[in-house]
Structure 1
């Protein structure tokens, strides 16, 4: 069953792509999990807001020796997958709790425990009032606890400039069209409010201190693995589908040829695909 969230995205339909992204991001994000948990003691509670397929909380589970991981997502299929993936790693060492819910819910804090670490990756920008969402997340923290969000960074690149089909520069046009789509998505969310400053200031406005930002580099050079090629096929097809008529007919025809497994231009047969970009992590501590 398709489930659309308030931003009108069918996240359940993207489960396979999210699983692949988790696998490809693992080497870069495992040290991030270790860094965020480095000051935790005893049996900490970690809340993963918008957990998706559970990739980051798998890393949290590997780092913890006791404690609780609370997984929150608005899409039941993703929540079930996250509970399966994190539970397989946590075993009996770490309690794993699933909560069906949305960051936009004004009563969210009543449904979640006080946390030593709150993590939200690519979630806040789907809420109309992003600053209010950060205040909600900060309100989940125990004194001295950490809120960390992953927002922004360097957009992932995966294609050569000239693919031998269509006009060169397809990926750049896809990403430009995606940026236009994103602006429209933000404008179309009920109660959308501008956030005319960067995430570090937004965390300070939410009442946090010791605010810092750092990056996690995603770097898979060519020739890519079978997993990377499969992911690129999904990503290119998804980008083209998501931007709709923001892409011209020639580029749409090129994408159709690139993702056709029976065609001569199929991306999955190429040895010159790669994945390069960076995730930006912004964190702050409660008073």
Structure 2
């Protein structure tokens, strides 16, 4: 496994900001997946949202949670967040692991305090596998890492985040958000096409789990919503998402000057188009969770 050429240190502030938006999703997912588990791995744990949610469910029953990520900035935030939450969450463990090192590095991170090897009976991975050149190969490796009877939960796909009315007025062409999404897809497609060792995966995530040898494959979809009118936290997130996405796509030449200017205007408090004055922005997305189980030992 080798990571896509993304500067995760540069992306860290965006991921940390998104943690508040995603906290409810993590709690809901952990409540469904954690009961009865003894050792959970959060692969690509980022700022620690899911790792701490899992710890709150598993640690009181004597279990362990290990969050693994390659970016030190995110791991530092995860450790501080876990300590601030206290209780079971504070006992979540975090390890710096380069995903390019494969499952051997993960096995080392999962060893118990006595150094004994340990296989997770739950692996959670959210928006990580699509950043790896060989997505199917990565899933194959994760399936082999599982303990017999263990569960692999991969959160990928779903429906993209929606935040804006289609027609924003102020001279901005309707459909801005759809154009930004299309441009961002072009950016990611280009990134994958240029990635050394990139392997196509021309089928869905549920089929990928079946090809990894997992059984009882299914998908659950979770709605995330912050309805209009937005609170201050949601509004700050909307402004940051539109501002950062617009700036990135403009710098790469993937949107035209009119849409780049629209993103600038929407996030400028001095402009009449500033989103901060509106009561009709919102946040709505659907997160897919694809599940598969390794066959129990015979």
Asked if Structure 1 and Structure 2 have the same fold, meaning a TM-score greater than 0.5 normalized by the shorter chain, the answer is yes
2:26 aligned with 1:29, yes or no? yes
Answer with 120-129 or 138-147: which moved more.
Answer: 138-147
Give secondary structure in 1 for the equivalent of 2:67: strand
1:109-120 correspondence runs (5 A): 109-113=106-110, 114-120=119-125
Summarize the Cα distance change of 1:81–1:199 in structure 2 as closer, same or farther, 3 Å threshold.
same
1:43-58 correspondence runs (5 A): 44-58=38-52
Question: Which residue, out of 239, 245, 253, partners 2:253?
Answer: 245
Residue pair 1:134, 1:203 contacting (<8 A) in 2 also: yes
Residue 264 of structure 1, CA deviation: 2.8
Normalised TM-score (structure 1): 0.91
Question: Which residue, out of 86, 91, 97, partners 2:93?
Answer: 97
Residue 28 of structure 1, CA deviation: 3.2
Residue 70 of structure 1, CA deviation: 0.8
Which residue is equivalent to 2:4? 7
User: Distance between the aligned counterparts of 1:200 and 1:111, measured in 2?
Assistant: 28
2:185 aligned with 1:201, yes or no? no
Normalised TM-score (structure 2): 0.88
Residue 274 of structure 1, CA deviation: 0.2
Which residue is equivalent to 2:82? 86
Which residue is equivalent to 2:114? none
Deviation readout 1:201-235 (Å, 9 max, x if unpaired): 11111121111101110111100111111111111
Which residue is equivalent to 2:138? 133
Residue 197 of structure 1, CA deviation: 1.0
User: Distance between the aligned counterparts of 2:67 and 2:240, measured in 1?
Assistant: 26
Which residue is equivalent to 1:171? 177
Q: Which runs of 5+ in 1 are unaligned?
A: none
Residue pair 2:51, 2:92 contacting (<8 A) in 1 also: no
User: Distance between the aligned counterparts of 2:129 and 2:257, measured in 1?
Assistant: 33
Residue 168 of structure 1, CA deviation: 1.1
Residue 137 of structure 1, CA deviation: 1.4
User: Distance between the aligned counterparts of 2:272 and 2:150, measured in 1?
Assistant: 54
- Report how many aligned residue pairs link the two structures: 280
User: Distance between the aligned counterparts of 2:198 and 2:246, measured in 1?
Assistant: 25
Question: Which residue, out of 52, 59, 62, partners 2:53?
Answer: 59
Which residue is equivalent to 2:65? 69
Residue 18 of structure 1, CA deviation: 2.1
Residue pair 1:54, 1:83 contacting (<8 A) in 2 also: yes
User: Distance between the aligned counterparts of 1:76 and 1:104, measured in 2?
Assistant: 15
TM superposition outliers: structure 1 runs of 4+ over 4 Å: none
